Amino acid sequence: MIQRWFTKWSSSAGVECTPRDLVTQLCVDCGLPVDTRDNPSATTQKSITLLWAAANTPRMLPSSKKSKKSKDTSEFTEALVVSLLEKGADANATEKSNGCTAMHQAAFKGKEEILRVLVERGGADPAVAALSSSWEMTPLHKAAWNGHCGAMSIIVRAAGAAGAEALLMARTSCLEEEDATALHVVASQGDAEGVRTLLELAEEAGVAKKLLGARDAAGQTARDVALAEEGSEEAAKALAAFQPKG
State percent of the chain over pLDDT 70.
Answer: 64
From CA 226, how far away is CA 228, in angstroms rounded?
Answer: 5
Q: What is the number of H-type helices and E-type strands within the chain?
A: 14, 4
Phi/psi-derived region of residue 88, left when phi > 0, alpha when psi is between -120 and 50, beta in every other case: left
The confidence score (pLDDT) of residue 77 equals: 74
pLDDT digit string (tens) for 32-81? 455 544 444 333 333 345 566 666 665 544 444 444 444 445 566 787 78
What is the tens place of the pLDDT at every residue in 2-12?
445 445 434 54
CA–CA separation, 39 vs 15, rounded Å?
28
Percent of the chain whose predicted confidence (pLDDT) is above 90: 43
DSSP letter (8 states) at residue 61: E
CB-based contact 110:146 (threshold 8 Å) = yes
Distant-in-sequence, close-in-space partners of 98: CB < 8 Å, separation ≥ 6: 130, 131, 132
Q: What confidence score (pLDDT) does residue 223 get?
A: 96
Lowest mean pLDDT among 6-10, 40-44, 99-103, 129-133: 40-44
What values do phi and psi take at 61, rounded to 5? -100, 120
Task: State the angle between helix axes of 19-29 and 2-13 in degrees (0 to 180), rounded to the nearest 10.
Answer: 70
Give the residue from 97, 95, 79 showing the smallest Cα distance to 87.
Answer: 79
Neighbours of 64 (CB within 10 A): 10
DSSP state of 172: B
Predicted TM-score (pTM) of the model is 0.76
pLDDT for 203-244, tens place per residue?
A: 999 999 999 999 999 999 999 999 998 889 999 999 999 999
Residue 47 · residue 37 · CB < 8 Å: yes
Distance CA 225, CA 35 (A): 41
Task: Give residues with Cβ within 8 angstroms of 112, minimum separation 6.
Answer: 148, 150, 151, 154
Which pLDDT belongs to residue 3?
47
Angle among Cα 197, 200, 203 to the nearest 5 degrees reads 150
- Residue 108: Cβ within 10 Å count: 20
As a whole number of angstroms, the distance between CA 142 and CA 205 comes to 20
